[in-house]
Amino acid sequence: MESGLSFSAADLAQTRFAVSPMWEVVTSYRVLVGRPDSAPHRRWAAQVRPRMARAGLDRGWLAALVPGRGYLADFLNPTPSGPFPTLDAELDAIRRTPAEQVRNDLRMLAEEGDPDAKLRLLQDDPPAALHKVTHEIETYWELALAPYWARIQQVLEADVFHRARQVAEHGSARVLSELHDTVRWDDGTLRLVRRHCSLSRDQAGSGLLLVPSVFAWPRVLTRSVHPDPPQLAYPALGFGAVWEPRTADATEAVAAVLGRSRTLLLTELDTPSSTTRLAAHCGLSAAGVSQHLIALRNAGLVTAHRSGRSVLYARTAVADQLLNP
């Protein structure tokens, strides 16, 4: 199967990149429910799946709106207003989705399987149900993505800056052809081959929004909702290295500044962890770990995220750069 998206000079002029938290929500959720053995994300999934199950997120609104394969609800991916929208801004846009678009998306979902009871509630009262959907997304974000967002965001932003530089040096056609092996530029048309869903001007507005994603691999995903510009989410450069343990080459230099205990905690935070787990793994007292984490948090080197009754600490992008210059 092949589809094509034709381009005028105006469409090329309106082609842009954006980093979208909501695209990471839907693609990561699909990894958890549809590709449980996905090699690049196995370490992440092993940590997140138990948290998701305990919170009931494997049988909630997202489970109904983001099936493991096939069509997913387009209203979950509103058009970002800028290159780096916040999750809150995208959730606000979801809550403002017109009822007719919600119901159209539900019809599309119904064509691919039996409708979920929650979807009938969404059909009957879209505004009220959308508030419940976005509340669940906030919970999912806190459990599955917030502890890792610094490293995810770093990869996504690096992809955008790299491709923007390539556009300046080599032009848009070359960059569009290098997004994915199923995407190619051919005489004014962006062609997608071996695609489950199509992408055409008839279904969407002008321009094109390109969205790098850590979790989209091994495919690209599309959104075509008129009059919005079409969206294409593609695997970001370096997505496979997001979960790799950091090297220890720079730890001695960092330890000379921060001290060995705090440096040890930072290196241990390749995986977001609680105070209790860090104390057990690092051979430190829980009280000592807590004091060090407060100091590291005040310095902008770690962040804290609630997961049920526990608090998970995660390394920030600044700390990543210290340990991996």
Distance of alpha carbon 219 from alpha carbon 240, whole angstroms: 14
Whether the full predicted model's pTM is greater than 0.75, yes or no, is: yes
> Which residue, among 99, 106, 94, 86, has the nearest Cα to 133 in the 3D structure?
94
> Which residue, among 196, 202, 168, has the nearest Cα to 182 in the 3D structure?
196
pLDDT of residue 246: 55
Q: Which two tokens stand for residue 62?
A: 């997202």
pLDDT of residue 260: 86
Q: Work out the percent of the chain whose per-residue pLDDT is above 90.
A: 35
With a cut of 70, which residues of the chain have pLDDT below it? 1-4, 6, 35-38, 113-115, 194-202, 204, 245-250, 307-308, 325
Q: Which ranges constitute the DSSP H helices of the chain?
A: 9-13, 21-34, 42-54, 61-65, 87-95, 99-110, 117-124, 126-140, 149-170, 172-177, 251-258, 260-268, 275-282, 286-298, 317-323
Pairing of strands 2-6, 189-193: antiparallel
Q: Are 27 and 38 in contact (CB under 8 A)?
A: no
DSSP secondary structure of 174-229:
HHHHTS-TTEEEETTEEEEES-SS---GGGS-SSEEEEEESS-TTS-EEE--TTSP
Q: Are 266 and 319 in contact (CB under 8 A)?
A: yes
118-167 confidence digits (pLDDT tens): 888 899 999 999 999 999 999 999 999 988 888 898 889 888 888 887 88
| Other Cβ atoms closer than 10 A to 3 | 17
Q: What φ, ψ does residue 258 adopt, rounded to 5°?
A: -90, -20
Distance of alpha carbon 94 from alpha carbon 23, whole angstroms: 13
Angle at 197 between CA 214 and CA 201, to 5 degrees: 100
In terms of Cβ atoms closer than 10 Å to its own Cβ (0-12, 13-18, 19+), residue 150 is: middle
20-62 confidence digits (pLDDT tens): 999 999 999 999 987 656 678 988 998 899 989 999 999 999 9
Q: Are 95 and 126 in contact (CB under 8 A)?
A: no
Distance of alpha carbon 101 from alpha carbon 104, whole angstroms: 5
Report the sign of the C-alpha dihedral through residues 265, 294, 260, 276, in that order. Answer: negative
